[in-house]
């Protein structure tokens, strides 16, 4: 049976006060710092986010500064964090904050939640942490803690089950320090109620944990089998201009990897001609896995002067020491072709 919220809240907050990790966005919190950090932290580890957070805030100290910047610059500062749709949405949302709210981040769940890219999680995080509102949030860590605490042995992706997690989180967040309570739930999931080998002996809510009582904690949350991901094959052309610079193409729009650069690629080798290139010798093969699909890319040497065409809205030649924001598959393809990219890592992983 689900424990009384008061029995969970008090020990959880006391544990958080004693054990919480120091993070730059937790010190001197502000709505903007909280918002940026929460977007960066989605799907990304804390240690990876910290240097990006400092750089981003130094360049964009408020929404107005981000709103005024060109998207290319925003993506370049994001390069390496992956999931670029987050950067595009934050950029757009900052413009909305300037256009609709005079540059002030709205202190209201409905109004803030209407901004581009602000889903229920981000809304709950900013409202509770930055504005002290009793708004719930649910992420992977919270799902793990609550599924064990209340022994919820159902697929968390099912809408009815998801509603149950949100309802429980909403029940728990009511009271003093809602932002800390939400962070405590997430921190407990990160440090104690871990996927494997949870540290139940030191857990502040162990006395009220149904999964621990049943000995089923490592079976929860339920993990549904992953469906086979469809595979798309690409042929990418490696061509240079007369000065030896690399021809790169930029994926159009807000879709998968939109705004990022890579070697011009087509799904059928013969179609390279539609981008103005003639295919030559093979240079390497790579595979890139997204959440719901897999790309296999065959890189070939190519000749010609490429031009824009679907799925690209721009083509440009770049010196190798001055490359723009590259897609994750683009980085892998360039490396497979022997292009040195020493200072880049992991850009464009699994966009959401």
Are 251 and 327 within 8 A, CB to CB? yes
CA 79 remoteness from chain centre? 12
Strand order across the beta sheet in which 265-266 lies? 265-266, 231-238, 294-304, 277-289
**Span from 28-36, 87-95, 129-137, 210-218 in contact with ligand SF4 (CB under 6 A):** 210-218
Alpha-carbon gap, residue 232 to 311, rounded angstroms: 14
Ramachandran angles phi, psi of 299, nearest 5°: -95, 130
Candidates 38, 135, 187, 262; catalytic one: 38
Q: What are the structure tokens assigned to 102, written together?
A: 């005079």
Q: Is residue 8 within the footprint of ligand SF4 (CB under 6 A)? A: no
Q: Is residue 212 within the footprint of ligand SF4 (CB under 6 A)? A: yes
For residue 241, give the H/E element and its range. Answer: none
Among 89, 122, 128, 217, binds ligand SF4 (CB under 6 A): 217
Alpha-carbon gap, residue 280 to 341, rounded angstroms: 23
Alpha-carbon gap, residue 268 to 176, rounded angstroms: 59
Among 13, 40, 57, 145, binds ligand SF4 (CB under 6 A): 145
| Contact track, ligand SF4, 282-311, x by CB under 6 A | ------------------------------
Written as one string, the DSSP assignment of 150-184 is TT--S-TTSHHHHHHHHHHHHHHH-SS-HHHHHHH
Please count the residues of this chain forming the interface with ligand SF4, following the rule CB under 6 A: 15
Among 49, 93, 130, 209, binds ligand SF4 (CB under 6 A): 209
Q: Judge whether 267 counts as a catalytic residue.
A: no
Among 206, 256, 260, 323, binds ligand SF4 (CB under 6 A): 206
Among 13, 93, 193, 263, binds ligand SF4 (CB under 6 A): 193
Picking from 214, 198, 201, the residue whose alpha carbon sits closest to that of residue 150 is 214
| Nearer to ligand SF4 (CB atom), residue 209 or residue 277 | 209
Q: Is residue 57 within the footprint of ligand SF4 (CB under 6 A)? A: no
Among 36, 97, 98, 149, binds ligand SF4 (CB under 6 A): 149
Q: Is residue 205 within the footprint of ligand SF4 (CB under 6 A)? A: yes
Active site residues: 38
Binding site for ligand SF4 (CB under 6 A): 145, 148-149, 192-193, 198-200, 203, 205-206, 209, 211-212, 217
């Amino acid at each position: 049976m689900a424990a009384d919220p008061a029995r969970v809240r008090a020990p959880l907050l006391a544990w958080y006060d004693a054990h919480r990790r120091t993070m730059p966005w937790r010190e001197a919190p502000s709505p903007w710092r909280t918002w940026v950090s929460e977007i960066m932290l989605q799907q990304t580890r804390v240690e990876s986010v910290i240097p990006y957070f400092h750089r981003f805030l130094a360049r964009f100290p408020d929404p107005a500064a981000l709103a005024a910047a060109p998207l290319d610059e925003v993506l370049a500062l994001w390069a390496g964090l992956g999931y670029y749709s987050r950067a595009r949405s934050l950029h757009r949302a900052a413009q909305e904050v300037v256009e609709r709210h005079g540059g002030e981040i709205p202190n209201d769940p409905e109004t803030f939640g209407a901004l581009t890219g602000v889903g229920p999680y981000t809304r709950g995080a900013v409202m509770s942490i930055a504005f002290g509102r009793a708004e719930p949030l649910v992420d992977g860590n919270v799902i793990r803690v609550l599924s064990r605490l209340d022994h919820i042995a159902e697929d968390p992706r099912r809408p009815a089950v998801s509603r149950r997690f949100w309802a429980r989180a909403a029940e728990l967040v009511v009271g003093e320090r809602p932002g800390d309570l939400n962070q405590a739930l997430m921190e407990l999931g990160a440090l104690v109620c871990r996927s494997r080998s949870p540290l139940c002996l030191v857990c502040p809510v162990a006395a009220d944990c149904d999964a621990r009582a049943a000995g089923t904690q490592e079976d929860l949350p339920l993990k549904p089998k992953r469906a086979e991901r469809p595979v798309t094959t690409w042929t990418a052309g490696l061509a240079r201009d007369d000065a030896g610079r690399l021809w790169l193409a930029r994926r159009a729009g807000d879709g998968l990897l939109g705004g990022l650069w890579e070697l011009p690629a087509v799904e059928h080798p013969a179609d390279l001609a539609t981008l103005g290139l003639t295919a030559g010798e093979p240079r390497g093969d790579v595979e890139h896995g997204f959440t719901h699909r897999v790309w296999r890319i065959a890189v070939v040497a190519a000749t010609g002067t490429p031009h824009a065409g679907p799925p690209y809205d721009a083509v440009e030649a770049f010196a190798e020491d001055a490359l723009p924001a590259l897609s994750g598959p683009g980085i892998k393809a360039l490396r497979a072709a022997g292009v040195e990219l020493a200072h880049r890592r992991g850009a464009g992983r699994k966009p959401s």
